């Protein structure tokens, strides 16, 4: 088996092939648009996963000074590096804990973070580290999932996994929406010393032409790991059917089109 074929069996590769095109690429474009990277800036993509935000910046045509992408997962970084070609070849991929960043003080003009703050065990410590590595007057742009009530696709996943894989699996989806409160976000950023904190509720309408294929891939390629692995075939099919039924009007019998809602946080150091 070739190295590429071996990598294709990993969780990170499933995450990249299933979730990134449908969810994280559209959000990366939106986050980068709002962050407005500028020529000559040193930029950090924090908790980069497979590198979709970093690649969006690299491909934007902006003549930045440097681009660093950091994640705690070696597996995610392996996929990110494999995808880093052309305009993305100059990205510095680094394995790092968000609460203990391996960078000097005042290293970056802009720090972006897509759908990760809610998973950090110590959110205050991570934001303090971001503030430390940010240059005076530098900017941050974070995207953080809103609650299940604003995200029917995730609600359908949680309910389906509750029923067929157990509450721990369903709660893994709820963790994706684990920091939905605007006031708490504001307090976290202000508490870390950020200024001019602006938080907008943003909803994108996302689409997949084959909802059944997405359901199987999404529940097997979540942020928090594969929740269908080890289930009997009939249980997997039951979970997928329950997910599709739970989508309601977001499912037309074949394709799915659904709102995906997050808070976008912009602030200055």
CATH of the domain at 214: 3.40.50.150
How far apart are the C-alpha atoms of 264 and 202, rounded to whole Å?
7
Residue 225 confidence (pLDDT): 56
Residue 12 is predicted with a pLDDT of 86
Of 107-121, 169-183, 225-239, the one with minimum mean pLDDT is 225-239
Neighbours of 61 (CB within 10 A): 8
Among 74-83, 117-126, 212-221, where is mean pLDDT lowest? Answer: 212-221
Integer-rounded Cα radius of gyration of the chain: 18
pLDDT band, very low/low/confident/very high, at 233 (cuts 50, 70, 90): confident
| 86-100, 141-155, 179-193: range with lowest mean pLDDT | 86-100
pLDDT at 140: 98
Residue 5, by phi and psi: left (phi above 0), alpha (psi -120 to 50) or beta?
alpha
Residues with Cβ within 8 Å of residue 160, at least 6 apart in sequence:
215, 219, 239, 240, 242, 243, 246
Strands 66-71 and 108-114: unpaired
Mean pLDDT score, 205-228: 82
At 71, list the tokens. Answer: 């994640």
- How far is CA 63 from its chain centroid? 25
Residue 8 confidence (pLDDT) above 80: no
Q: How far apart are CA 60 and CA 201, in angstroms?
A: 24
Q: What's the total number of domains in the chain? A: 1
Residue 68 belongs to domain spanning: 3-268
């Amino acid at each position: 088996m070739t190295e590429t074929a071996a990598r294709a069996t990993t969780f990170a590769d499933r995450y990249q092939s299933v979730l990134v095109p449908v969810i994280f690429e559209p959000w990366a474009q939106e986050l980068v648009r709002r962050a407005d990277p500028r020529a000559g800036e040193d930029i950090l993509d924090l908790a980069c996963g497979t590198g979709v935000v970093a690649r969006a910046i690299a491909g934007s045509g902006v003549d930045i000074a440097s681009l660093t992408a950091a994640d705690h997962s070696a597996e995610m970084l392996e996929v990110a590096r494999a995808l880093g070609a052309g305009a993305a070849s100059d990205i510095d991929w680094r394995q790092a804990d968000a609460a203990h960043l391996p960078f000097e003080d005042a290293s970056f003009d802009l720090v972006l973070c897509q759908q990760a703050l809610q998973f950090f065990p110590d959110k205050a410590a991570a934001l303090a580290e971001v503030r430390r590595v940010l240059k005076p007057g530098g900017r941050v742009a974070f995207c953080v999932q809103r609650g299940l009530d604003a995200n029917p696709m995730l609600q359908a996943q949680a309910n389906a996994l509750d029923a067929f894989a157990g509450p721990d699996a369903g709660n893994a989806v709820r963790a994706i929406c684990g920091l939905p409160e605007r006031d708490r976000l504001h307090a976290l950023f202000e508490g870390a010393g950020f200024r001019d904190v602006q938080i907008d509720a943003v909803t994108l309408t996302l689409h997949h032409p084959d909802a059944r294929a997405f359901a199987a891939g999404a529940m097997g390629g979540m942020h928090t790991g594969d929740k269908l692995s080890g289930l009997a075939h009939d249980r997997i099919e039951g979970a997928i059917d329950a997910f599709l039924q739970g989508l309601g009007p977001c499912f037309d019998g074949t394709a799915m089109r659904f709102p995906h809602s997050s808070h976008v946080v912009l602030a200055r150091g």
